[in-house]
């Protein structure tokens, strides 16, 4: 099975996510067979728990990752979430207050390429299933490096293609043909879920993404693929 080389445009990402914001969570549960929250919990295991932390969750969307971070890491004393989609953030605000974290969370509609934060503002940065959507991923990673404190760390969760031949064939068939159909069924936006499979197939993975982290300035970069290689966790430190 030949992998598509079409590079999808990121020009209208905010509008695309605005259009599916209200059904995003439900659709994610369906197309991932309920595993998306498990993936996010796996990312939390890489977050330090030995000291108080100020956190930023970039491309926070409906705040799933931000909330799971707070639920599983009680040492997070302050959390900021940013995203370019206003409609996704509206859903996120409701979830944050319902979970009882309104007093320590601040949500802002901002572009991760160029944020409003000062240098050395956060101890950790999380970014789940969002770096693929950056117009310039390298610029976004450099911005994260800038706003992290010394000894801070980045924690990225992203889709990847399995390395096993059989799993790869099955995964590509699913994301090319089944996933767009299911996504369109629940969101009425076929284009958004075709965009999803195109970005998964063409975005930097594993060693290639580690190189982007290193170019941005991060040290001790590492990755770990989980769930048959469908998802990969990346980490790096600002030393």
Q: How do residues 162-212 score in pLDDT, each as one tens digit?
A: 999 999 999 999 999 998 888 888 777 777 778 888 899 999 999 999 999
Joined tokens for residue 58: 């970039």
Q: Considering the domain boundaries, does residue 88 fall inside one?
A: yes
DSSP state, 229? G
Quote the pLDDT of residue 8.
58
Quote the pLDDT of residue 7.
57
Joined tokens for residue 24: 């995003």
What DSSP string runs through 137-155? Answer: HHHHHHHHHHHEEEEEEEE
Q: Considering the domain boundaries, does residue 34 fall inside one?
A: yes
Quote the pLDDT of residue 9.
58
Quote the pLDDT of residue 113.
96
Contacts of 103 (CB under 8 A, 6+ apart): none
Query: Up-side HSE of residue 78: CA atoms within 13 Å toward CB?
Result: 5
Round to whole Å and give the CA distance between 34 and 36.
6
Going edge to edge, which strands form the sheet with 122-128?
105-109, 76-83, 53-58, 122-128, 148-159, 231-237, 219-226
Quote the pLDDT of residue 2.
35
User: Any idea what the CATH number is for the domain that residue 80 is in?
Assistant: 3.40.50.150
Residue 81 domain boundaries? 13-161+204-237
φ/ψ region of 80 (left if φ > 0, alpha if ψ in -120 to 50, else beta) reads beta
Q: Considering the domain boundaries, does residue 144 fall inside one?
A: yes
pLDDT digits (tens, 9 = 90+) for 211-226: 999 999 999 999 999 9
Report the length, in residues, of the chain. 239
Q: Considering the domain boundaries, does residue 5 fall inside one?
A: no
Total number of domains constituting the chain: 1
Low-confidence ranges of the chain (pLDDT < 70): 1-11
Q: Considering the domain boundaries, does residue 218 fall inside one?
A: yes
Q: Considering the domain boundaries, does residue 4 fall inside one?
A: no
Quote the pLDDT of residue 20.
84
Contacts of 124 (CB under 8 A, 6+ apart): 47, 48, 53, 54, 55, 56, 148, 152, 153, 154, 155
Q: Considering the domain boundaries, does residue 133 fall inside one?
A: yes
Q: Considering the domain boundaries, does residue 187 fall inside one?
A: no
Residue with tokens 């999380």: 126
């Amino acid at each position: 099975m030949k992998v598509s080389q079409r590079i999808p445009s990121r020009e209208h990402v905010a509008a695309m996510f605005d259009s599916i914001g209200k059904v995003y969570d439900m659709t994610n549960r369906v197309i991932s067979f309920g595993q998306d929250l498990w993936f996010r919990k796996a990312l939390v295991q890489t977050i330090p728990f030995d000291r108080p932390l100020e956190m930023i969750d970039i491309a926070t969307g409906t705040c799933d990752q931000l909330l799971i971070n707070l639920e599983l890491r009680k040492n997070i004393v302050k959390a900021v979430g940013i995203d370019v989609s206003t409609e996704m953030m509206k859903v996120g605000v409701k979830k944050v207050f319902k979970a009882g974290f309104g007093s320590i969370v601040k949500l802002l509609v901002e572009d991760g390429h160029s944020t409003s934060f000062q240098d050395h503002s956060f101890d950790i940065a999380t970014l789940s299933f969002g770096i693929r959507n950056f117009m310039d991923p390298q610029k976004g990673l450099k911005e994260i490096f800038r706003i992290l404190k010394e000894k801070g760390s980045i924690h990225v969760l992203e889709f990847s293609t399995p390395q096993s031949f059989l799993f790869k064939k099955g995964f590509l068939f699913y994301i090319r043909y089944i996933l767009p159909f299911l996504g369109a069924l629940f969101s009425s936006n076929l284009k958004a879920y075709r965009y999803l499979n195109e970005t998964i197939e063409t975005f930097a993975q594993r060693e290639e993404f580690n190189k982007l982290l290193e170019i941005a300035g991060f040290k001790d970069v590492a990755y770990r693929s989980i769930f048959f290689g469908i998802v990969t966790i990346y980490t790096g430190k600002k030393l």
